[in-house]
Amino acid sequence: MTNNSFVSENHKPIGVKLSDWIFIVLCAFLLLFDSRPWDYLRLIDFILLLCISSSVFFLLWWSDRYEREPGTSIIWAFAWGAFPACLLSIIFGSIAGNTVSGAFLEEFFKLIGLMIAFKRGNIQSWMDGLIIGGYIGLGFAVYEDIIYAISENDVTSMIIDRGLFSIFSHTFFSGIGAVIIVFGLLTRRFWLQLIGFTVAFTLHLLWNTVLDLGLFPYINEAFFFFYAVLPPTVVITSAILLRIHEKNLLEIKATVALKNGQITEETFNLIKSLRMRREYLSHISSATERSQHRQRIHAICRQILS
């Protein structure tokens, strides 16, 4: 399918090494045994939470079709948001104790995960910023919803309420901010990285401030639009535009790789067309081999974009 030397075998994205998980596991242990959600949530509550969060998860999964992040990296990003980012925000937030610092700390600790993923070579395009930042934000939102739920008498109602009005929120804050930060990282413009963080922080602060001040009566049209409609609309629109951008960028860079003899004509077609990928994979009978070929195509795409 391609020259074997084109794909680096030494590339180990975040989540592959055991050392990637030590800090996450430690934070998970501390957070879980401090909050003990299993004492408060019933099976139906966990199922509801899973169903609600799946809407964001599969939107990001659909978006990342041309150059999909490895599954271990996606799990790592989700876990970073759910445990280290959440735990550190709680610890430092209890010291600062106000809306401004709370929004700042939450975005700061979430986006540390983005920077770690970038350093490990997971991020080659703007889309990767939305994907990694979005999964980190989703992980944070899920565990934050659990914390809110276990503090209420009616756990199920709180999960539904938070699911309707906030499940997209942290993906909205962190994902949009991450896209701008990644643009700054890829073009080596530090000021864009600062703007990206400022955007994530400002969106988060505005969200919290409007809620704290009660500017919209609860569950009226303006409240519903601001909390339930606006975040998914922005995230979905961004995902569609970035997916188109990544497809075009891949085709441009793959054309150069083809001319340089780094890839074959067949590989070029597989890179630029999802339909051709499906047709190619349909002729492979073994599910294991299909998975291996699919992963290799994604690895080639990552190498071309890097």
Is the predicted pLDDT of residue 7 greater than 70, yes or no?
A: no
Angle subtended at Cα 75 by Cα 69 and Cα 78, rounded to the nearest 5 degrees: 105
> Band of the pLDDT at 163, cuts 50, 70, 90?
confident
Element at 110 (helix H, strand E): helix 99-119
- In one-letter notation, the amino acid at residue 242 is L
In angstroms, the CA 71 to CA 79 distance is 12
42-46, 196-200, 219-223, 300-304: which has the minimum mean pLDDT? 219-223
- Give 99-128 pLDDT, tens digit per residue: 899 999 999 999 999 999 999 999 999 999
Q: Which pair of structure tokens corresponds to residue 72?
A: 């271990």
- Residue 9, pLDDT score: 47
Is the predicted pLDDT of residue 10 greater than 90, yes or no?
A: no
In angstroms, the CA 127 to CA 130 distance is 5
- Residue 165, pLDDT score: 87
CA 87 to chain centroid, in Å, comes to 18
Q: What is the mean pLDDT of the chain?
A: 91
Query: What pTM did the predictor assign?
Result: 0.93
CB 140 within 8 A of CB 82: yes
- Residue 6, pLDDT score: 56
- Residue 297, pLDDT score: 93
Question: Where along the chain do its domains lie?
Answer: 7-229
User: What is residue 66's three-state secondary structure?
Assistant: coil
Indicate if the alpha-carbon torsion angle 116, 117, 120, 125 is positive or negative: negative
